[in-house]
């Protein structure tokens, strides 16, 4: 019998469970099939099936039809076939019997078996049947994975992440680093203030990588309440908690085969840092409420605006995780240090928002451009983008002059409310203004203020700012609604 070396090597990651009460047959199958399957488990007692498939997802299961002496009806095998498919609907099961009864074979196929084998020792037939079953198993898994990815993509709004080629000297080394690191599998950590374009860089790395044809999944850890970290990262099984009405894949599983971008990774609690480190090392996850490990293949890109080195010293960030995610480090300069890019970015955003709002591309006057260049840009590229968006909407005659940008008036408006230049008083008023402007939406207010949501909560508590919640709470946040009206506690 001719065995293809390439074919055999392609199955070494495959797994097989054989269930049969004949010890001689089990030994023979182990000898024959062991070289073809990376994992091969054999059991003689079918009562062990449930515990095995709960703990491990086999590519193929080879199941005997009869376990009781002198019984040849095949009913026992049909019973266990139904049990397996009840627990794992996508399982690929090949039935095996010493009795080549066509009616039994037809019944097994009707009940969901993939194929049928006789115990006549035909090595070619056994191998060809199991290899065909393995191909079916892999096809099913690939289809299911693609379905999960498609559901994730469909749930994402068009964020419009255009690639902008920087001309600033401070970005030259960074662009070269991106081009060299992208085609590798190295884990990358991106540092920088809020709004400096960390996600845009992550997407560019993915676009230039060998995984470009696969999915890019992002997760902003700064926008999640602590109760959502675990389920968003690792997913959950039906019944894992009160509202878990169906299985849901986590972002890590969705990103398998592609790239996962973890923004604001410094916000991840220490106990979940330990779990994430294990996933990166072992390439396996266990969903919340599950016991079976799921293999994953992920390219990791992380980002933060927090000082991870200092957090390591404070024991709030694991040093071993830091080194795992930080094979390559990219630090993005703030916009105030790369003002050469402002004209190009402004033109880029003018075209983007003109297309979005179906207007002609407005002309930015010379004085308008001068005002943009003179601003300090505490909110970096994100602030510039929002300024241009507002200007496109409000411009008259498709011309944008300096009057469309009111950077100085913001400080005057805050001062007029507080009557003071005291930092704490003005910070409090700025938070109240942001919450009012966005109807109490914590995530949006935090983003516009240039802080993460947990920091915003801390400042709301510090300044005793009261949030009066609306009835239309965000059902996706079990810790409470994300919107409401804002009031300050009486002093």
Position 383 in a domain: yes
- Round to whole Å and give the CA distance between 138 and 143: 9
**Is the same domain home to 309 and 377?**
no
Instruction: Report the CATH number that the domain containing residue 141 is assigned in CATH.
Output: 3.40.50.2300
Q: How many domains does the chain have?
A: 4
Nearest alpha-carbon partner for 280 in 249, 324, 319? 324
Question: Do 266 and 208 have their domain in common?
Answer: yes
Tens of pLDDT along the chain (491 residues)? 444 444 555 566 789 999 998 888 898 898 888 888 988 999 999 999 999 988 888 999 999 988 877 777 788 899 999 999 988 888 999 998 776 566 777 788 888 998 888 777 888 888 889 999 998 888 877 777 766 665 555 455 444 444 557 788 888 899 999 999 999 999 999 999 988 999 999 999 999 999 988 889 999 998 887 778 889 999 988 888 888 888 888 899 989 999 999 999 999 999 999 999 999 999 999 998 888 888 899 999 999 999 999 999 999 999 999 999 999 999 999 999 999 999 999 999 999 999 888 888 999 999 999 999 999 898 899 899 999 999 998 888 889 999 888 775 554 555 555 555 566 667 888 888 888 777 777 877 887 787 877 788 888 888 888 775 444 333 333 334 444 544 444 33
Same-domain pairing of 358 and 275 = no
Tell me, yes or no, whether 376 and 318 share the same domain: no
473 assigned to some structural domain: yes
Q: 310 and 195, same structural domain?
A: yes
Contacts of 402 (CB under 8 A, 6+ apart): 365, 367, 368, 370, 371
Q: Please, is 267 exposed, middle or buried when counting C-beta atoms within 10 Å of its C-beta (0-12, 13-18, 19+)?
A: buried
Instruction: Scan for tokens 């990651």, then name that residue.
Output: 13
Give me the sheet containing 299-304, strands edge to edge: 216-220, 259-263, 299-304, 188-191, 328-331
Residue 414: what pLDDT?
A: 52
| DSSP-derived 3-state class of residue 338 | coil
The CATH number that applies at residue 192 is 3.40.50.300
| 434 and 383 fall within a common domain | no
Length of the chain: 491
Domain contains 165: no
Residue 340 lies in a domain: yes
- Tokens for 116, please give them: 């049928």
| Domain harbouring 369, CATH code | 1.10.8.60
For 288, residues 6+ apart whose C-beta sits below 8 A from its C-beta are: 230, 231, 234, 235, 236, 237, 240, 241, 244
- Specify the pTM: 0.60
Domain assignment present for 155: no
Distances (CA, A) of 193 to 29, 107, 214, 233, 344: 60, 64, 29, 24, 20
Domain boundary among 380, 405, 430: 405
Query: From CA 312, how far away is CA 304, in angstroms rounded?
Result: 14
Helices (H), 292-438: 308-313, 319-325, 342-356, 366-374, 380-394, 407-418, 423-437
User: Is 96 within a domain?
Assistant: yes
* Whether residue 127 is found in the same domain as residue 10: yes
In whole angstroms, give the CA distance from residue 137 to residue 62: 13
Domain with 426 in it? 410-488
Predicted pLDDT at 419: 55
Contact assessment for residue 258 and residue 217, using Cβ atoms and an 8 Å cutoff? yes
> Which of 286, 313, 332 finishes a domain?
332
Q: Which domain-ending residue is among 356, 381, 405?
A: 405
Asked if residues 30 and 42 have their Cβ atoms less than 8 Å apart, the reply is: yes
Same domain membership, residue 179 and residue 49: no
**Which token pair is 2?**
């001719």
Are 313 and 357 members of one domain? no
In a domain, 160, yes or no: no
185 and 327 belong to one structural domain: yes
Residue 181 DSSP one-character state: H
Residue 125 in domain: yes
Whether 304 and 345 map to the same domain: the answer is no
Asked if 183 and 278 sit in the same domain, the reply is yes
User: CA separation (Å) from 413 to 14, 418, 433, 460?
Assistant: 66, 9, 10, 20
Query: Exposure of 477 by Cβ count < 10 A (0-12 exposed, 13-18 middle, 19+ buried)?
Result: middle
């Amino acid at each position: 019998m001719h065995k293809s070396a390439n074919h055999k090597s392609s199955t070494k990651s495959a797994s097989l469970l054989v269930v049969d009460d004949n010890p001689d047959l089990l030994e023979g199958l182990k000898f024959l099939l062991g070289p073809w399957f990376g994992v091969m488990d054999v059991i003689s007692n079918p009562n062990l099936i449930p515990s095995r498939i709960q703990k491990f997802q086999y590519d193929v299961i080879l199941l005997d039809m009869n376990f009781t002496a002198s019984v040849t009806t095949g009913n026992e095998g049909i019973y266990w076939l139904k049990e397996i498919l009840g627990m794992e609907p996508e399982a690929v099961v090949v039935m095996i019997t010493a009795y080549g009864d066509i009616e039994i074979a037809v019944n097994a196929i009707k009940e969901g078996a993939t194929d049928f084998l006789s115990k006549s020792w035909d090595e070619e037939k056994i191998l060809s049947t199991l290899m065909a079953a393995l191909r079916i198993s892999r096809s099913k898994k690939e289809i299911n994975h693609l379905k999960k990815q498609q559901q994730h993509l469909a749930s994402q709004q068009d964020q419009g992440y255009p690639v902008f080629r920087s001309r600033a000297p401070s970005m030259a080394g960074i662009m070269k680093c991106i081009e060299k690191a992208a085609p590798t599998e190295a884990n990358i950590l991106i540092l920088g203030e809020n709004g400096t374009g960390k996600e845009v860089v992550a997407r560019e790395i993915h676009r230039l990588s060998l995984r470009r044809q696969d999915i890019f999944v992002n997760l902003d850890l700064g926008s999640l309440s602590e109760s959502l970290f675990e389920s968003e990262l690792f997913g959950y099984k039906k019944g894992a908690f009160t509202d878990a009405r169906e299985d849901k894949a986590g972002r890590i599983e969705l990103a398998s085969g592609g790239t996962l971008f973890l923004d604001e990774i410094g916000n991840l609690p220490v106990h979940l840092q330990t779990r994430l480190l294990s996933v990166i090392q072992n390439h396996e996850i266990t969903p919340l409420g599950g016991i079976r490990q799921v293999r994953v293949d992920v390219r990791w890109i992380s980002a933060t605006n927090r000082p991870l080195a200092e957090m390591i010293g404070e024991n709030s960030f694991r040093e071993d995780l830091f080194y795992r995610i930080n094979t390559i480090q990219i630090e993005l300069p703030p916009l105030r240090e790369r003002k050469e890019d402002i004209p190009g970015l402004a033109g880029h955003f003018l075209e983007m928002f003109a297309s979005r709002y179906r207007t002609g591309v407005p002309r930015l006057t010379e004085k308008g451009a001068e005002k943009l260049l003179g601003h300090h840009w505490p909110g970096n590229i994100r602030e510039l983008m929002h300024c241009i968006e507002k200007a496109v909407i409000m411009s008259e005659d498709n011309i944008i002059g300096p009057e469309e940008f009111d950077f100085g008036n913001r400080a005057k408006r805050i001062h007029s409310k507080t009557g003071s230049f005291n930092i704490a008083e003005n910070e409090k008023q700025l938070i109240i203004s942001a919450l009012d402007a966005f109807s109490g939406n914590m995530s949006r207010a935090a983003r516009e203020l240039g802080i993460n949501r947990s920091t915003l909560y801390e400042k709301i508590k510090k300044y005793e700012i009261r949030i009066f919640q609306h009835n239309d709470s965000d059902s996706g946040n079990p810790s409470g609604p994300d919107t409401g009206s804002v009031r300050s506690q009486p002093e």
